[in-house]
Chain A
Amino acid sequence: MESRGRFRRVGLFEVGNTLLMLAVCFITLYPMWFVFINSLNAPERALLGTINWFPEAWSLDSYRVVFNDKNLMNGFYITTLRTVIGTAAHVLFTAIVAYGMSRSNLIGRKFYMRIALITMLFSGGLIPTFLLMTKLGLYDNFWVFVIPGMYTFFNMVIFMSFFRTIPESLEESAKVDGASDYGVLFRIVLPNSMAVIATISLFSAVYHWNDYYQGVIYIRTQDLLPLQTMLYKIIAENSMSFMQQQAMAQFGARLPGNSIKFASMMVATLPILAFYPFIQRYLVKGVMIGAIKG
């Protein structure tokens, strides 16, 4: 196909299609670029919100306010913490359950699978789940970010089918050498499953980093709010954190809310943007595994 294509006449369709694809790229990238330049723009310029390509007057004032805002920085810390702990807990717990389930000699395997499958078809929904969290003492508790997200059926199935592809001879020889089931899992199976672990970890990490909704529903204490929930409050509810109000009073109209919003958005999304080029192929791989299974 490739070599033949080179000699083919470049038609109107090719030109139009290429232009369309370039337009798609532009529409996708420009919003992020817009946030970036306006976070760096001098605050009085950012207020105007005009369409532009480069900052008209460079300034780091907005970032200074964001990084000096104790609340936002605490939010950054909570988000980082829940991303690390939440992801580790999810991958470890789901992988261990999946390994047990993948053993063909597991007694009660059919019964366990049926229990797991039903959770796919039916669920309690928002209110019963909320009441349960309250009764378990997870309301306004950091662990609400971790424990309810420790397991998903979908990822369990992905792990399970991956573990099945690992040659049994590897596990057999370890068993002969006297390794326990846990020994086999941690010394043979998991080290041979790095690709699937990477994919599932990334999905889990992106989820934890981006989620604002759990924080809206379950968290009341300011000190436990993740960064994205704070951003939600700043953007959608137009509430300013205390430090920002002080900064506003100090700088007056020179530092309007808009540029601070852009700077906080940039800080909140920079980790995703920075890692994206390196992790995107794992993410796509994850979807492909999921699609084949589903």
Chain B
Amino acid sequence: MSQHRSGQMKAFFRQWQVQSMVIPGIVWMFVFCYIPMFWLIIAFMDYSIAKPMLQSPLVGLKHFEDFAADDRFWRSIRNTLGMSAIKLALGFPIPILFALLLNEIRSLRFKRAVQTISYLPHFIAWTIFGGILLNWLGEGGVMNQLMMALGIQDREILYNSDPQYFWWIVYFSDVLKETGWSAIIYIAAIAGIDPALYEAAELDGANRWQRMWHITIQCIRPTIAILFILAVSGMLGSNFEQIFMLKNNMNMRMAESLDLYIYNMGLVSGRHSFSTAVLFARSVVALGLLLLANYTSKKLSGESIF
């Protein structure tokens, strides 16, 4: 046994070069991933940044009870779920639709040009994209001019200051920015379908819509299922860069998502332990959601990520 171990040690040191490539990576992971995970335990303490963590008093579930009693927490849950539900119900099918329609374009060059242009917005920073949006939705902006010219509204509306529009601004800006990019994966899946299937269907007299439904959709179903599982399990998250850019004091009532609540409570108000408790609870629920979505998908379509 000891001889075996010393043999292994020798082998380990003989390959010190390869080991010295990997070990810095492991150390990095330990510092930047494992220490923050370990630090989640301050959710059960009254942590103050001035003192070493282990000297902070344990308070059990106090912070969990506190946030459960906070109306603003429940408001942030409502906002997160509301925005996610809109994105999921009305946003999820759009890249699929776009990929299907793009696939029907016959000119290869036009198809490629449209595709290239469609994912440009993904690479534009949220500061720029949000800046344009805020300008368009503001006083005298493009949106107001358009609506007034069309006779839909007769006076200016400050879209971004009125909370009732916020969820929709988030939804539409997300569609505008990410549709082309999200479609790539479906376009690739469609490109992988055997052309013989279409030829056979055409001989059988299937029209365009029947081919789309019975062949294209059926063939990319695994891709759809997996992306759907991921979308559902991400429902408690939000696009922080987007919301942080579009929020302001006037629309905060509808804009404060769970992410933003954690940020506001933890980094703006400095309640580190309290915010970490919210983070902790969210991770647990998100893991549950992932397992649930995975299970449901496995039962319904046979597709799952694990």
A contacts, CB < 8 Å to B: 1-2, 5, 13-14, 17-18, 20-21, 24-25, 27-29, 31-32, 34-35, 48-51, 93, 96-97, 99-101, 103, 105-108, 112, 115-116, 118-119, 122-132, 134, 136, 148, 150-151, 156, 180-182, 185, 206, 209-213, 216-217, 228, 231-232, 235-236, 258, 261, 265, 268-269, 272, 276-277, 280, 283-284, 287-288, 291
Find chain B residues with CB under 8 A from A127 CB. 262, 266-267, 272, 275-276, 279
Closest beta carbon of chain A to B135's beta carbon, Å: 6
Give A182 to B33 CA distance when docked, in angstroms.
27
Q: Which residue from chain A places its CB closest to the CB of B113 in the assembled complex?
A: A25
- Chain A residues, Cβ within 8 Å of B24: 93, 96-97
Tell me which of B102, B128, B136, B184 contacts A231 (CB under 8 A): B128
Q: Which residue of B lies closest to A25 (CB)?
A: B117
Chain B nearest CB, measured from A213 CB (Å): 6
Of all chain B residues, the one with the shortest Cβ separation from A6 is B106
Look across to chain B and name the residue whose beta carbon is closest to the beta carbon of A99: B21
Contacts of B116 in A (CB 8 A): 277, 280
Check B74 for interface membership: any CB of A closer than 8 A.
no
A162 → B minimal CB distance (Å): 16
Nearest CB in chain A: distance from B170 CB, A: 15
Contacts A97-B24, A236-B245 known; A210 to B123 CB distance under 8 Å? yes
Q: Which of A28, A112, A136 contacts B26 (CB 8 A)?
A: A112
Within 8 A of A (CB), among B105-123: 105-106, 108, 110, 113-114, 116-121, 123
Nearest Cβ distance between residue B295 and chain A, in whole angstroms?
A: 17
B40-A231 in contact (CB<8A): no
Is A231 a contact partner of B127 (Cβ separation < 8 A)? yes
Which residue of the partner chain, among A21, A129, A269, contacts B124 with CB atoms under 8 Å? A269
* Distance between A146 CB and nearest chain B CB, rounded to angstroms: 12
Please determine whether A51 and B40 come into contact, CB atoms closer than 8 angstroms: no
> Are A27's CB and B176's CB within 8 A?
yes
Q: How far is the CB of B187 from chain A (nearest CB, A)?
A: 9
Is B22 interfacial (CB 8 A cutoff)?
yes
Given A24-B114, A156-B25, verify A269-B180 contact (CB < 8 Å). Answer: no
Q: How large is the interface on B (under 10, 10 to 19, 20 to 34, 35 or more residues)?
A: 35 or more
Digit string of B1-43 for contact with A (CB within 8 Å is 1, else 0)? Answer: 0000000100110010111111011101101111111111010
Q: Which residues of A contact B20 (CB under 8 A)?
A: 100
Do B140 and A132 touch (CB < 8 A)?
no
* Nearest chain B residue, comparing its CB with the CB of A95: B21
Contact with B188, one of A156, A217, A291 (Cβ below 8 angstroms): A291
Contact of A128 among B40, B106, B136, B208 (CB under 8 A): B40
Is B142 an interface position by the 8 A CB rule?
yes
Question: Least Cβ distance of B63 to chain A in Å?
Answer: 12
What residues on A are CB-neighbors of B15 within 8 Å?
105-107, 181
Chain B positions within 8 Å of A122 at CB level: 37, 283
Asked if B128 and A265 make an inter-chain contact with CB atoms under 8 angstroms apart, the answer reads yes
B101 close to chain A: CB less than 8 A: yes
CB of A115 within 8 A of CB of B26, answer yes
Contact in complex: B118, A25 (CB < 8 Å):
yes
A/B interface sample: 11 pairs, CB < 8 A: A21-B101, A24-B98, A25-B118, A96-B24, A106-B15, A128-B279, A151-B32, A212-B126, A231-B131, A236-B248, A284-B184
Q: How far is the CA of A17 from the CA of B294 in the complex (A)?
A: 35
Q: Are A228 and B180 in contact (CB under 8 A)?
A: no
Q: Is B157 an interface residue when CB atoms closer than 8 A count as contact?
A: no
B283 CB → nearest A CB, Å: 7
Q: Are B128 and A280 in contact (CB under 8 A)?
A: no
Whether the pair B240, A213 counts as a contact (CB closer than 8 A) is: yes
Assess whether B125 is interfacial by the CB under 8 Å rule: yes
The interface residues of chain A lying within 8 Å CB-to-CB of B117 are 24-25, 28-29
Besides A24-B114, A119-B34, 8 new A-B residue pairs in contact (Cβ under 8 A), listed by A number: A5-B106, A107-B8, A116-B29, A125-B283, A126-B259, A131-B39, A228-B127, A231-B125
**Residue on A with the closest CB to B271?**
A127
Asked if residues B36 and A235 are in contact (CB atoms below 8 Å), the reply is no
Assuming A17-B104, A49-B135, is B37 touching A128 (CB within 8 A)? yes
Q: Does B130 contact A (CB under 8 A)?
A: yes
The answer to whether B120 touches A13 (Cβ under 8 A) is no
Question: B161 near A: Cβ within 8 Å?
Answer: no
